[in-house]
Amino acid sequence: MITGASRGIGSATARRLAAAGASVALTARDEDALLDVADAIRHAGGRALTVAADVSDPETLEPLIEETLERFQRIDILINNAGVLWPLDETADADLDEWAYNVHVNLVGPFYLIRTVLPLMQAQNYGRILNISSGAAARPIPGWGAYCAAKAGLDMLTRVVAEELRGADICINALYPGLVNTEMQADIRSVDTSESSLDFSYWQDAFEQNKLLAPDDVARMIYWIVGPWGRAASGQIFKAGDETWHAQVAQDIAL
């Protein structure tokens, strides 16, 4: 099960895991985009199911769980990848609803899905959960209060659940995917900071210097963590910037 599978890291991961033989259940809000991803997977011989949902709203996630179990009978892997960056404002100017929505998408939604799949994974004594976090969880960035706070919360939730699961063959980890060439990065570059004290030139420079990773590269890291290579890890925060690990992934899995 992959959230945020309509584009970017999520769709690349869906294609990668489906090519490896997984039956993939895909969700995001944009139903047409999800159907395109699923069509491409089926065209390549894979199995995919789509259920449009907003991860901030548990009621819309219930059909995702039900249809996935009906069609595939089990949920072995959950990848909490859906994420939003907005609001990008200093805290004094941030909109309350936008702030709360961010936390609901980036933290409460993953909590809801983890809580829902855990009893299933415990019954089968097998499961892999991966939360797509961000370096912003560990680095305070002016203007990114909601995102930094939500991702930091996601990291701690990952570590708490890992402690709760000691002894079971259920692993839960998080990944900082690095700077990845997706719409989220384009969103950052689209913000006009000329009238504010915010400075997003770091992301503009990284883009201009061609330093962004490709979504496929991150999909390979995700495959490594939820696949057999990552079986010993739980409660870990993997980082794309960890060059030793990145090299190990590249050695174990071809792009």
Interface ranges with ligand NAP (CB under 6 A): 3-10, 28-30, 33, 54-56, 81-84, 105, 132, 134, 177, 179-180, 182-185
The single residue of 147, 176, 202, 223 carrying the catalytic annotation is 147
Query: Judging by beta carbons within 10 Å of its beta carbon (0-12, 13-18, 19+), is residue 206 exposed, middle or buried?
Result: middle
> Whole-angstrom Cα distance, residue 38 to residue 31?
10
- Taking the least distance from each CB to ligand NAP, the nearer of 114 and 184 is 184
Active site includes 147? Answer: yes
CA 115 to chain centre: 16
- Taking the least distance from each CB to ligand NAP, the nearer of 3 and 23 is 3
Written as six digits, the tokens of 142 are 């002016």
Tell me how far, at minimum, the Cβ of 39 lies from ligand NAP, in Å. 16
DSSP annotation of 209 reads T
Tell me how far, at minimum, the Cβ of 6 lies from ligand NAP, in Å. 4
Determine if the peptide bond prior to 87 is cis (ω within 30°): yes
- Taking the least distance from each CB to ligand NAP, the nearer of 39 and 183 is 183
The amino acid present at 83, given as its one-letter code, is: G
> Whole-angstrom Cα distance, residue 236 to residue 249?
16
Tell me how far, at minimum, the Cβ of 44 lies from ligand NAP, in Å. 19
Q: Dihedral through CA 99, CA 147, CA 93, CA 95, nearest 10?
A: -20
Q: Please tell me whether residue 166 adopts helix, strand or coil conformation.
A: coil
Written as six digits, the tokens of 76 are 């072995």
Tell me how far, at minimum, the Cβ of 22 lies from ligand NAP, in Å. 18
- Taking the least distance from each CB to ligand NAP, the nearer of 37 and 165 is 37
- Taking the least distance from each CB to ligand NAP, the nearer of 153 and 177 is 177
CA of 79: how far to CAs of 4, 86, 110, 146, in Å? 9, 21, 9, 21
Tell me how far, at minimum, the Cβ of 121 lies from ligand NAP, in Å. 21
Active site residues: 147
